[in-house]
Amino acid sequence: MKIYPFSIYMFLVLTVGLLFSSCEKETNTVENFKVIIPAEASKIAYVGRALSFDVSLEASSGLQKAETRIDFQPVEESEQSDFASATTGTYHFTYTPTQFDLGKKLRFVVVAYDNQGHTSTATHEVTVEEAPVNIEIMMPDDAPSTVNLEESFEFDVSVISELDIVEISTWLNNQVIAPLTKTEFENPLIDSYRFAYTTVNDDAGTNLNFTIQVKDAEGKVKKVEYTVFVDGQRLPKPVQVFNDIMIGGQLNTENGHFLNTTTGSRHFSPGVAAISSSIDILGFVSGGATGVNLTAPSFSNATIVYSVAHSDAVNALAAWPVRNTTKLKRLTGVSPQDYNDIVMDNEIMALYDNGGEETDNINRIQVNDIIAFKTVEEKYGIILIKAPLPPNNRSSIIFDYKIQK
């Protein structure tokens, strides 16, 4: 019985010995067989940019080929078999990290093979980072900080880039100003970009926050902010009027629950998530103490009403990609006749500014209530609640409203 453990022990010793013998042939035990990575080879690699350097090879018995490996696997198209002479040569290492490599530490092994089947290796580790954005945007010293209403102003912005410039654009209020987009350059590394703008009525008394954006050939972007104050008095504009708007309660099947105040259109749950950025107000009727409600999409409790059970996982309110933070105010001391007398938008703005506390939900709504609101686009509106008041969540909330054009 004792002979079996001894036999197993001897078998393991012989196996390990053979393995070490085999491994020794795969490492550099041959004299004058060298793989030399230059000391100056970069330890940092950038996503989308090729990391390249030359590796010196020496093999007294003759060079057969060389390749690069990561995690014991050959890098695609890394094999090289042509060298300056039979015994010495230069291996051209190159690797382009992808976004998948970002933040990783990659360990490359350059493997050389000689004509007798031996190998010699050298390792090189790099950390993969985002490539730096080497773009300089220089605003002129004479760029104005204040301009007048309906005034045109322009100036040149100097741009220098390490890589080719593919686009320069200007944005205002998260919208690109199409005429100021430039995509053709006489010198793609240096450009004088012409900025020009004419203030309009709605700019009066506000700060215009421009963003000048430069994109290079790698898709990297550099931005610079520019703010200018528009001095002047905004001229009032006539309001847009919507009458007899009906927002359905959550179980109503005739009128949509979600309102786009710019167009007056109402929408049901199916497909609403795709247009969520255009929804300003929604309505529902509670059987509890809150009664009839008009709310912003951002109102937290509305997600309970318009849940997955009401629609589906995509169009449930909590899943909307955008839930606008419309502000509402219940106005006191403002009558239906006061509402009817409003013809200019500055009248709505004054009522809103002098109204009560901002909120994202107005509840316990009654007939003849006056509600002011402000959308995320800074458009002011005012609502007049009409009869009849919905008795349950299968009925509709009826109202007129006026809003800035």
User: Tens of pLDDT along 54-96?
Assistant: 999 999 999 999 999 999 999 999 999 999 899 999 999 999 9
Q: What pLDDT was estimated at residue 287?
A: 81
Q: Nearest CA to 175 among 277, 259, 271? A: 277
User: Given pLDDT bands bounded at 50, 70 and 90, which one contains residue 23?
Assistant: very low
Q: Cα(96)–Cα(75) distance, rounded to whole angstroms? A: 11
* Placement of tokens 């007048």 in the chain: 148
CA dihedral sign, ordered 380, 384, 389, 390:
negative
What does the pLDDT look like over 222-256, one tens digit per residue?
A: 999 999 999 999 899 999 999 999 999 999 999 99
Q: Cα(214)–Cα(159) distance, rounded to whole angstroms? A: 8
User: Given pLDDT bands bounded at 50, 70 and 90, which one contains residue 5?
Assistant: very low
Q: What pLDDT was estimated at residue 32?
A: 86
Is 135-231 in the same CATH topology as 29-129?
yes
Confidence check: pLDDT of 11 > 70: no
Cβ proximity of 135 and 150 under 8 Å? no
Q: What are phi and psi for residue 14, nearest 5 degrees? A: -65, -40
**Which tokens sit at 198?**
């004419």
Confidence check: pLDDT of 20 > 80: no
What does the pLDDT look like over 123-162, one tens digit per residue?
A: 999 999 999 999 999 999 999 999 999 999 999 999 999 9
Mean pLDDT of 322-339: 98
- Residues of the chain above pLDDT 90, percent: 90
Give the start-to-end residue ranges of the domains of the chain.
29-129, 135-231, 240-403
Confidence check: pLDDT of 7 > 80: no
Mean pLDDT of 362-371: 98
- Residues of the chain above pLDDT 70, percent: 92
Cβ proximity of 212 and 157 under 8 Å? yes
Q: What pLDDT was estimated at residue 30?
A: 60
Contacts of 305 (CB under 8 A, 6+ apart): 250, 284, 286, 317
Q: What pLDDT was estimated at residue 289?
A: 85
> Average pLDDT over the chain, rounded to whole?
92
Q: What is the pTM of this model?
A: 0.60
User: Given pLDDT bands bounded at 50, 70 and 90, which one contains residue 29?
Assistant: low
Mean pLDDT of 3-19: 43
Q: What pLDDT was estimated at residue 63?
A: 96
Q: Cα(42)–Cα(125) distance, rounded to whole angstroms? A: 9
User: Given pLDDT bands bounded at 50, 70 and 90, which one contains residue 4?
Assistant: very low
Side chain identity, residue 333: G
CATH ID of 135-231, from 2.40.160.20, 3.20.20.60, 2.70.70.10, 2.60.40.10: 2.60.40.10
Q: What pLDDT was estimated at residue 288?
A: 77
Q: What is the CATH number of domain 29-129?
A: 2.60.40.10
DSSP output for 288-345: STT-EEEE-TT-TTHHHHSSTTTS-TTTSGGG-S-----EEEEESS--HHHHHH--BH
User: Given pLDDT bands bounded at 50, 70 and 90, which one contains residue 380?
Assistant: very high
The shares of helix, strand and coil residues in the chain, as percent rounded to the nearest 5, are: 15, 40, 45
